[in-house]
Chain A
Amino acid sequence: MVSDPRPFPPGEYPAIVVGSGPGGLQASYGLRRHGVAHAVLSADPAPGGMFRKWPFFQRLLSWTKPYAPEAHTSREYQRFDWNSLIADEPELRSLQAEFLDGTSYFPSRQEMEANLAAFADRAGIEVRYECTWERTRRVEGADGTTFVLETTDGEYRTRILILAVGVAQPLMPSPPGIELARHYAETREAPSYAGKRLFIIGKQNSGFELASGLASWASQIVLSSPSPAKLSVVTNSLVGVRARYVQPFEDNFLGLGVSILNASTDGIARAGDGYRVDLRRTDNGMPMSVAADEVIAATGFTCPLQDLPALGVTTFGRSGLPAVTPMWESVSVPGIYFAGTISQAAPGLRKHGIPANSGAVHGHRYNSLIMTRHIAETHFGVEDARPQVAERDVLGYLLREATCAPELWHQKAYLARVVSVSGDDGIRDEGILPLVHALDTLERDVIAMTVEADGTGGIFPVIYVRHGGRVEEHALPGHPMRDFATTEHREAAASAISAVLPSFART
Chain B
Amino acid sequence: MATREEIADILAGFTLFGDLQTPQLLSVAGVFEEVFFPDGERILRQGLTGSGFYVILEGGADVIVDGTKRSTLQRGDFFGEVSILLGEPPTADVVATTALRCLVLAGPAVQGFLESHPKVMYRMLQAQARRLRNANRWRS
Question: Once the chains are docked, how many angstroms separate the CA of A264 from the CA of B7?
Answer: 14
* A264 and B26 in contact, given A173-B3, A227-B31, A318-B4 (Cβ under 8 angstroms): yes
| Bound CA span A228–B48, Å | 30
Stretch in B71-79, B101-109, B122-130 touching the partner? B101-109
With most chain A CB atoms within 10 A of its CB, the pick from B30, B42, B48 is B30
In the complex, what's the smallest C-beta–C-beta distance from A436 to chain B, in angstroms? 9
**CB atoms of A351 and B2 under 8 A apart:** no
Please state if A316 and B36 are interface contacts (CB–CB under 8 Å): yes
Nearest residue in B to A351 (C-beta to C-beta)? B50
Report which of B31, B34, B104, B108 forms a contact with A352, defined as CB distance below 8 A. Answer: B108
Residues of B within 8 A of A252 (CB): none
Asked whether A349 lies within 8 Å of B50 as measured between CB atoms, the reply is yes
Q: How far is the CA of A314 from the CA of B41 in the complex (A)?
A: 15
Contacts of A52 in B (CB 8 A): none
Number of chain A residues close to chain B: CB under 8 A: 44
Q: Does chain B have a CB within 8 A of A495?
A: no
User: Is B19 close to A, CB under 8 A?
Assistant: no
Q: How far is the CA of A478 from the CA of B2 in the complex (A)?
A: 40
Question: Smallest Cβ distance from A165 to chain B, in angstroms?
Answer: 16
Given contacts A264-B26, A455-B108, contact A350 B3 (CB under 8 A): no
Classify the interface of chain A: helix, strand, loop or mixed. loop
Q: Give the number of chain B interface residues (Cβ < 8 Å).
A: 37
In the complex the two chains form, is A317's CB within 8 Å of B48's CB?
no
> How far is it, in angstroms, between the C-alpha of A363 and the C-alpha of B28 when the chains are bound?
28
Q: Is the Cβ of A471 less than 8 Å from the Cβ of B27?
A: no
Q: A226-B30, A264-B23, A282-B27 are in contact. Are A350 and B104 (CB under 8 A)?
A: yes
| Contact between A315 and B47, CB atoms less than 8 A apart | no
Q: How far apart are A446's CB and chain B's nearest CB, in angstroms?
A: 14
Q: Complex: how many Å from CA A394 to CA B118? A: 50
Summed over the interface, the residue pairs from A and B with CB atoms below 8 Å come to a total of 108
CB distance from B88 to the nearest CB of A (A): 12
Check if A181 is an interface residue, CB within 8 A of chain B: no
Within the assembled complex, what's the spacing in Å between the Cα atoms of A413 and B27? 28
With A280-B22, A317-B36, A471-B47 as given contacts, are A174 and B3 in contact (CB-CB < 8 Å)? yes
B window 1-59: CB within 8 A of A? 1-5, 21-24, 26-31, 33-36, 38, 42, 45, 47-52
Distance in angstroms between the alpha carbons of A263 and B26 in the assembled complex? 9
Q: Which residues of B contact A173 (CB under 8 A)?
A: 3-4
Min C-beta distance of A426 to chain B, whole Å = 27
State the CA gap A264–B23 with chains docked (Å): 6
Q: A226-B30, A318-B34 given as contacts; is B3 within 8 A of A352 (CB)? A: no
A225 touches B (CB below 8 Å):
yes
B1 touches A315 (CB 8 A): yes
Question: Quick one: which of B78-103 are within 8 Å of A by CB?
Answer: 89, 99, 101
Q: Are B108 and A227 in contact (CB under 8 A)?
A: no
Sample of 5 more A-B contacts, CB < 8 Å, known A227-B30, A285-B23:
A226-B27, A239-B106, A323-B99, A353-B52, A454-B108
A-B pairs with beta carbons under 8 Å apart, 13 shown: A173-B3, A314-B99, A319-B1, A323-B36, A323-B38, A331-B38, A332-B38, A347-B35, A349-B50, A351-B51, A353-B50, A353-B106, A455-B106
Binding site for A on B (CB under 8 A): 1-5, 21-24, 26-31, 33-36, 38, 42, 45, 47-52, 89, 99, 101, 104-109
Residues of A near any B CB (own CB < 8 A): 173-174, 225-228, 239, 262-264, 280-282, 285, 302, 309, 314-320, 323, 325, 331-332, 347, 349-354, 413, 440, 452, 454-456, 471-473, 475
Closest 3 A/B residue pairs (Cβ): A353-B106, A351-B50, A227-B30
